Amino acid sequence: MKSKKMIIGLMMLVTLLANGVVMADVNDYGAVGAMTDEAYTLEEMLVYAIQDEYLARGEYESIMEKFDVQRPFSNIIKSEETHISLLVPLFEQYGFEIPTDTSEDHLIIPDTITETYAIGVEAEENNIEMYATFLQQDLPEEVRDVFERLLASSENHLSAFENGLSRSTQGFGRRGK
C-alpha cells in the first residue's frame, strides 16, 4: 500500500517537473543555488542556508493565503522561523552580513494544492541534499550542529509533504485537487 502511494507521488512529481512547475525560480538562491557550486566557503554555506529558510517560509505563507489551508504549512513555518533564528547567530559570530530576505522575488506558487505538496517534496529533498553536502565539509562544531539539526528537520518536513501528497492524490486533500 505504501509503495503504491510512493509510486503515485513520484508520478505526480515527474509530471509536474516535466511541465516546468516550480515554487522557486531556478537561480543562484537557496538550496538550488547551492547545488550549482562545487566548493563552498563558510559564508557561502550560511548564505545558501538562510536563503533557503527564507524561501520556504515565504512559500508556505503564500500557499496558506492562496489555498486557505493551515497544516502542514503553519507548523513548518514555525520551524522555518526557528531555523532562521539558529542561523543568525552564526552570521554574527563569524562577522558575516546577514542577507536581506529577498525570497519574495523568487516565489512562484503553483495552481493547485496537490502541486504544492509535490513541489514541497522536491524542495525538502533539495534542502536535505544541500545540508548533507555542507556536512561533508570541514566545519566548526557549532555550524555542524546547526546544519545537522536543519537536515533532521527537513527530513520531518519531507514526511509531512509526502503524506499531504498521498492524501491529496487519493482525493482526501483540500482544495485544488
Report if residue 139 sits inside a domain: yes
Q: What is the tally of structural domains in the chain?
A: 1
pTM, 2 dp: 0.79
Residue 133 sits in a domain whose CATH number is: 1.20.1260.10
> What is the predicted pLDDT for the residue at 10?
45
Report if residue 13 sits inside a domain: no
> What is the predicted pLDDT for the residue at 136?
96
Report if residue 17 sits inside a domain: no
> What is the predicted pLDDT for the residue at 8?
44
pLDDT at 1 over 60: no
> Nearest 10 degrees: CA dihedral of 100, 105, 107, 111?
150
50-107 pLDDT, tens digit per residue, is 999 999 999 889 988 988 888 888 888 898 999 999 999 999 999 999 999 999 998 8
Q: CA torsion sign, 26 to 110 to 61 to 70?
A: negative
Report if residue 177 sits inside a domain: no
Percentage of the residues of the chain whose pLDDT score is greater than 90:
46
Average pLDDT over residues 143-156: 96
Domain that holds residue 71: 24-169
